[in-house]
Structure 1
Amino acid sequence: MAEHLLELRDLSVRFHTARGLVQAVQGVSWHLDRGETLAILGESGSGKSVSASAVMNLIDCPPGEITSGQILFEGRDLLTLNEEARREINGRRIAMIFQDPLSHLNPVYPVGWQIAETATAHGTPAQEARARARELIARVGIPDPDAAMRKYPHQFSGGQRQRLMIAMALALKPDILIADEPTTALDVTVQAEVLSLLGELQRETGMGLLLITHDLGVVAEIADRAVVMEGGRIVEAGTPYDLYHNATHPYTRKLISAAPGRGEMRADRAPVTPLLSCRGLRKEYGSFTALKGAEFDVMPGECLAVVGESGSGKSTVARLVLRLEEASGGQALWKGEDLLTKTPREMAKVRRQLQMVFQDPTQSLNPRMSVYEIISEAWAIHRDVLPKSRWRGRVQELLEQVGLKPEHADRYPHQFSGGQRQRIAIARALALEPELIICDEAVSALDVSIQAQVIQLLGRLRDELGIAFVFIAHDLPVVRDFADRVLVMQKGEIVEQGSVRQIFDAPREPYTQRLLAAGLDPDPEVQARRRAERLALQA
């Protein structure tokens, strides 16, 4: 019998790139046993996803190349098996779920067919596979499984799509489930539900769970052991408690210190004349009301955080204020003038003062444009802002201001990491020197240290330039550290708003209390208490 269910021994992977060889994984060794959860913790570029991809035979060779090591599954080295033997194992014995389910679900097939197809591809009769798909859809908590079977991926929320990916991965009752950042972009309550679901399924089936994450809170919530990776190497390993309280490596300590929710909350600000005032703001889509009479103010130089689950109306508020969608009613008063009644020409002038940073910079940055072209485009549209002779120098200044290098101006978005792309998006937003920036989940998918750097950058811009922020987020510890005031939304309504201290220390509404209880803490002891509180609230 094999000593471990899955074991990596001295695995090394490198990639041939235009700039030479990149050593993505260097001499990595770890193991996973039945019924155990092993977390691989690290930031982008640490090699955690590459090592998991090697297990699933998902590394393109070339340009990738496994140069050494073994991947032992029940004692058999997967690297020595032929393609046919690997196909028998992948999906059936070892399954994987990915960070972005929308990218991995086929948009033109119903989800029921896609889940059933996982089983039929391995020889399960079609009728049996379809019954299994319906059973799994019900098991992962999707309402009305019969109707859900006939729906397409775009008809589900992000959390539901992740549940469907889990159902697909479990179709053949695998021995190992690899989860690559499965909760990164999910709301705190949905994240807690998905992690709880994974734990339940693991207890039912006894499968080993390999969890790839950059979130220390996820490690504290679900992991039995964790390994920390930096630069393709394992720098530390141990239980979540040992890593949090007794970390020895500087990189592990840096990750812990970068975890949000530990800083001083900002003091209450003296009242001033609002920069933006929304009154009775509404949005209706046919018979469905997405936003129900929202009323709030944004003061000069302050950060108003907007929190709530998917579908609560957070992003709708942002789109209405910026006139990316037309409101069904109400007012959005910018310095006393209603944005909702302005003509397109008038609105174009106001847009110089209102900018937005979107959640996914990969989609919001044009891949065909260089960084210089992306940032300078604002001056090409608003020609009176800056003479063309100064564009190059100003772009370089903005890049340095957001922590990038001047020479990055001539590169393209795909040549940067996710955190760097978000910095480029922020530099673009700063090009017109706005008075208000709306950040729609702008840091939700970033590594903890990069997230901390971006929040620090935004805080510096607020203090130095007096920029106000509407900060739409589901990451409550980040909100705690950055915001001045918090607005809590549920089902299109504002259920509570107040200073950050009031919302976090003395929330009045049960919904706000549930949101706070669902948040994850990197300290395993604190997280154990939160888990107990969450269960008590559910009861």
Structure 2
Amino acid sequence: MNHLLETKNLSVDFHTAGGTVHAVRNVNWHLDAGETLAILGESGSGKSVSASAIMNLIDTPPGEIVSGEILYQGKDVLKMSTEQRRQLNGHKIAMIFQDPLSHLNPVYTVGFQISETMMARGVSRAEAQERTLQLMERVGIIEPHIKIDAYPHQFSGGQRQRLMIAMALAFEPDVLIADEPTTALDVTVQEQILKLLKDLQQETGMGILLITHDLGVVAEVADRVVVMNSGEVVETGLANDVYRRPSHPYTQKLISAIPGSGELAQPLPDSTPNILEVNQLCKSYGNFHALQNASFTIGEGESVAIVGESGSGKSTLAKCLLRLEDTSEGTALYRGKDLLSLKDKELLKIRRDIQMVFQDPTQSLNPRMSIFDLISEAFVIHPDILPKSQWKSRVAELLEQVGLSAQHMSRYPHQFSGGQRQRIAIARALALEPKLIVCDEAVSALDVSIQAQVINLLTDLQQKLGISYLFIAHDLPLVRDFAHRVIVMRGGRIVEQGTVEQIFEHPQESYTRNLLAASLHPDPEVQQQRRQERLLETA
């Protein structure tokens, strides 16, 4: 009997000026109806390239499928005509992407974009509109009859991912390819999206091909796992077997890099001087209060993490501190100087001491600038830091610090994966050797081993240079390993703050306890037990 979807000896090359890159080599796996197959691996392992080959999304040139078969219900899609592939894609095989904001057109309403997928295949406008409302309601968009006329930027990250799922489900496909669907989402929204996918799978019987680097996501939803490294499949098996008895050294390395099992960081001494003191910070947009009386401190050489759901005010707080947003009330004293009232010249001098790594490197890295230009731009703005003759060697050093190569400096952002772009953004922030770095989901898109590498790098820099961090994250195990103190936000307010031990071992607020409960465990057996306990609690 034919599998629903199968690749046989699939190989994909990319012909570049520097030579041929063998992105995918002799890849074999299969997916059956009603099954979730996870393709696990780091950035550059070939996960997304193999999915793009299925959807006919590889740019040729420079890409080329050099050998193999992609079988849908036993028929090789690579031998189909362009029109046959077009009828198959979106109708029988659909895909949701890692970054929904980059794949939703900002100038069209979300309702039009979902309807357009159906009208392109001959569905009437009225029928498409009605179906769009049904889909938006099914994926959990509140008040779909109002939100249907809204634009992508008016939705949170989790809501945009729900809209992408609605678009993909327009024709009830047999196969849904989910490429890192929860990478940038907080734990509670991630839980909701994964539950939505499983519920939809049970309703329709579709097979889900899940591309991820998150072992917690694998434990929650995957039946089987394919582990890829350097374009090759190195291990396959049931999710539980691969986690408990990994046979390949690469899989063993991935599992050993999972955060959340190390010793808790000890709080700094009470005598530690503060580098930042935030008092009664408020930010309003009309009648909407995005921040309400936020007060906290960061000590010299201290890591303070902020956790909370989307819309809790985490990123707004960070942008206010860096003067990227104006505040309504409050003060933010950096070594005694109020950042919120400084004149432009004074602020420019302090900006070299305070850097930010943004959540979405696609938006924060200029696509027209090479990686060398992006990182060395700091030396252009602050020419007294480094002689121009040393710029190239310093950029090379920074790239290698974050796990990239000096050879990458001549490339452009679009030539890198999402995780690699985030590493470039971190290297850029480190260029000025700042005293305080604001990390807004700075490692959320990274693979676990690179994540561990970057966290070790940040920790080493902190120990050597006394750097302080304001670390915004949704990955609670990572926060547990990295931070000295934790701030929990909800609805623009700080609801709880304390040491890592206080927050993780003795949380006082029910909201904090719910956040911790929603965090995924990489062990499938443990995660299944947690799932059953939650079902009993809600029954």
1:123 deviates by 2.6
Cα contact 1:489–1:495 (8 A) shared by 2 = yes
Q: Does 1:294 align with 2:299?
A: no
Gaps of 5+ in 1: none
Distance of 1:171 and 1:371 partners within structure 2: 39
Distance of 2:519 and 2:211 partners within structure 1: 19
SS for the counterpart of 2:227 is: strand
1:409 deviates by 4.6
Match of 1:374 in 2: 374
Distance of 1:344 and 1:448 partners within structure 2: 40
1:296 deviates by 0.3
Match of 2:427 in 1: 427
Match of 1:72 in 2: 71
Cα contact 2:402–2:453 (8 A) shared by 1 = no
Distance of 1:48 and 1:455 partners within structure 2: 24
Match of 1:268 in 2: 267
| Cα displacement string for residues 144-182 of structure 1 (whole angstroms, at most 9, x for unaligned residues) | 111122212221111111111111111111111111111
Q: 1:397 to 1:229 in 2, by over 3 A?
A: closer
Q: Within 5 A, what are the aligned runs for 1:174-213?
A: 174-213=173-212
Q: Does 1:163 align with 2:158?
A: no
1:214 deviates by 1.0
Match of 2:356 in 1: 356
Q: Does 1:248 align with 2:247?
A: yes
Distance of 2:8 and 2:131 partners within structure 1: 36
Q: 1:399 to 1:210 in 2, by over 3 A?
A: closer
Letter in 1 for 2:151: Y
Q: Does 1:529 align with 2:529?
A: yes
Match of 1:142 in 2: 141
Q: Within 5 A, what are the aligned runs for 1:368-517?
A: 368-406=368-406, 408-517=408-517
SS for the counterpart of 1:255 is: helix
1:462 deviates by 0.8
Letter in 2 for 1:34: A
SS for the counterpart of 1:65 is: strand
Distance of 1:182 and 1:93 partners within structure 2: 19
Q: Within 5 A, what are the aligned runs for 1:86-235?
A: 86-235=85-234
Cα contact 2:323–2:340 (8 A) shared by 1 = yes
Task: Compare 155-164 and 391-400 and name the one that shifted more.
Answer: 391-400
1:412 deviates by 4.2
Letter in 2 for 1:25: V
Q: 1:88 to 1:276 in 2, by over 3 A?
A: same
Question: How big is the alpha-carbon RMSD for the aligned residues of Structure 1 and Structure 2?
Answer: 1.9
Distance of 1:404 and 1:318 partners within structure 2: 27
Match of 2:42 in 1: 43
1:5 deviates by 1.4
Letter in 2 for 1:269: L
SS for the counterpart of 1:340 is: coil
1:126 deviates by 2.7
Q: 1:405 to 1:285 in 2, by over 3 A?
A: same
Match of 1:57 in 2: 56
| Cα displacement string for residues 443-500 of structure 1 (whole angstroms, at most 9, x for unaligned residues) | 1111111111111111111111110100011111111111110000001000110111
SS for the counterpart of 2:250 is: helix
SS for the counterpart of 2:37 is: strand
Task: Compare 234-243 and 358-367 and name the one that shifted more.
Answer: 358-367
SS for the counterpart of 2:274 is: coil
Cα contact 1:514–1:534 (8 A) shared by 2 = no
Task: Compare 393-402 and 173-182 and name the one that shifted more.
Answer: 393-402
Letter in 2 for 1:108: V
Q: 1:417 to 1:161 in 2, by over 3 A?
A: closer
Letter in 2 for 1:279: N
Q: 1:180 to 1:421 in 2, by over 3 A?
A: closer
SS for the counterpart of 2:294 is: strand
Distance of 2:17 and 2:115 partners within structure 1: 41
Q: 1:406 to 1:170 in 2, by over 3 A?
A: closer
Letter in 1 for 2:318: A
TM-score between the two structures when normalised by the length of structure 1 = 0.95
Q: 1:475 to 1:538 in 2, by over 3 A?
A: farther
Cα contact 2:426–2:442 (8 A) shared by 1 = no
Match of 1:324 in 2: 324
1:53 deviates by 1.7
Distance of 1:392 and 1:102 partners within structure 2: 33
Q: 1:358 to 1:243 in 2, by over 3 A?
A: same
Letter in 1 for 2:310: S
Q: 1:205 to 1:342 in 2, by over 3 A?
A: same
1:438 deviates by 0.7
Distance of 2:514 and 2:506 partners within structure 1: 13
SS for the counterpart of 2:284 is: strand
Distance of 1:60 and 1:387 partners within structure 2: 40
Cα contact 2:441–2:472 (8 A) shared by 1 = yes
Q: 1:532 to 1:494 in 2, by over 3 A?
A: farther
Cα contact 1:514–1:537 (8 A) shared by 2 = no
SS for the counterpart of 2:340 is: helix
SS for the counterpart of 1:480 is: helix
SS for the counterpart of 2:443 is: coil
Match of 2:82 in 1: 83
Match of 1:339 in 2: 339
Letter in 2 for 1:253: Q
Q: 1:101 to 1:423 in 2, by over 3 A?
A: closer
Match of 1:305 in 2: 305
Letter in 1 for 2:426: I
Task: Compare 446-455 and 244-253 and name the one that shifted more.
Answer: 446-455
Distance of 1:171 and 1:410 partners within structure 2: 41
1:334 deviates by 1.3
% identical equivalent positions:
66
Letter in 2 for 1:84: E
Cα contact 1:517–1:531 (8 A) shared by 2 = no
1:50 deviates by 1.6
Task: Compare 244-253 and 50-59 and name the one that shifted more.
Answer: 50-59
SS for the counterpart of 1:237 is: strand
Cα contact 2:33–2:206 (8 A) shared by 1 = yes
SS for the counterpart of 2:60 is: coil
Distance of 1:408 and 1:24 partners within structure 2: 17
Distance of 2:73 and 2:410 partners within structure 1: 49
Distance of 2:34 and 2:27 partners within structure 1: 22
Task: Compare 251-260 and 356-365 and name the one that shifted more.
Answer: 356-365
| Cα displacement string for residues 261-312 of structure 1 (whole angstroms, at most 9, x for unaligned residues) | 1211111221122111111000111111100000100011010001111111
SS for the counterpart of 2:426 is: helix
Distance of 1:404 and 1:228 partners within structure 2: 22
Distance of 1:404 and 1:127 partners within structure 2: 51
Distance of 1:7 and 1:408 partners within structure 2: 34
Cα contact 1:281–1:291 (8 A) shared by 2 = yes
Task: Compare 21-30 and 306-315 and name the one that shifted more.
Answer: 21-30
How many residues are aligned here? Answer: 538
1:526 deviates by 1.7
SS for the counterpart of 1:324 is: coil
Cα contact 1:518–1:530 (8 A) shared by 2 = no
Distance of 2:10 and 2:355 partners within structure 1: 46
